[in-house]
Amino acid sequence: MKGLKKTRRIQILALAFVALAGSTALIGYAMRDGINFFRAPAQVIAEPPEAGEVFRLGGLVEPGSLVRGQGETVSFNVTDGAEVVPVRFTGVLPDLFKEGQGMIGTGVLVDGTFEASEILAKHDESYMPKEVMEALKEQGVYQEPDQSGS
């Protein structure tokens, strides 16, 4: 009788381990497309991503670089003060998107140009995405926004 209890306990532990490993594998599989790493332009130039790798690019829209093409296609440059990455986006830009402001885009790098599938812009005058702010601080070009309200 004692051996049967011990065998049953081992079977339950083994089944629990298999269930835990299986659920972990399923969660990892489901999240494989949802994890996009953030990169600043200097990081993209220094260590280009693998072909087809989806990532997030953030920085400031370079003044004077915004060019509207045919239809909804827009191209512009994103900079972190050290490097510049050209961006092409087809779609409707956010209302607050403009030159000299912070943005984050999701997409892939194709022949040196970031092909964005999504563009996010800051949502008020004082907001700067955390990742963009840190990248700009690393390059020494970040300036604190004027908080005086003038």
Tokens of 121: 């812009």
Q: How far apart are CA 72 and CA 62, in angstroms?
A: 19
Tokens of 52: 């087809």
Q: Which residues pair with 105 in a beta bridge?
A: 57, 119
83's CB contacts (< 8 A; 6+ apart) are 40, 41, 42, 44, 45, 46
Among 131, 137, 141, 71, smallest CA distance to 104 is for 131
Q: What is the pLDDT of residues 52-92, one digit of tens each?
A: 888 999 888 999 998 987 778 899 999 988 899 999 999 88
For the beta carbon of residue 137, count every other beta carbon within 10 angstroms.
13
Confidence of residue 150 (pLDDT cuts 50, 70, 90): very low
Query: For the domain with range 37-139, which CATH number is right: 3.10.50.40, 3.40.50.2300, 2.40.50.140, 3.40.50.300?
Result: 2.40.50.140
Residue by residue, what is the 3-state secondary structure of 112-133? CEEEEEEEEECCCCCCCCHHHH
Q: What is the pLDDT of residues 83-97, one digit of tens each?
A: 999 999 998 888 888
Tokens of 101: 């402001």
Among 62, 81, 88, smallest CA distance to 142 is for 81
Q: Count the residues in the chain.
A: 150
**Single pTM value for the model:** 0.63
Where are the chain's structural domains? 1-35, 37-139
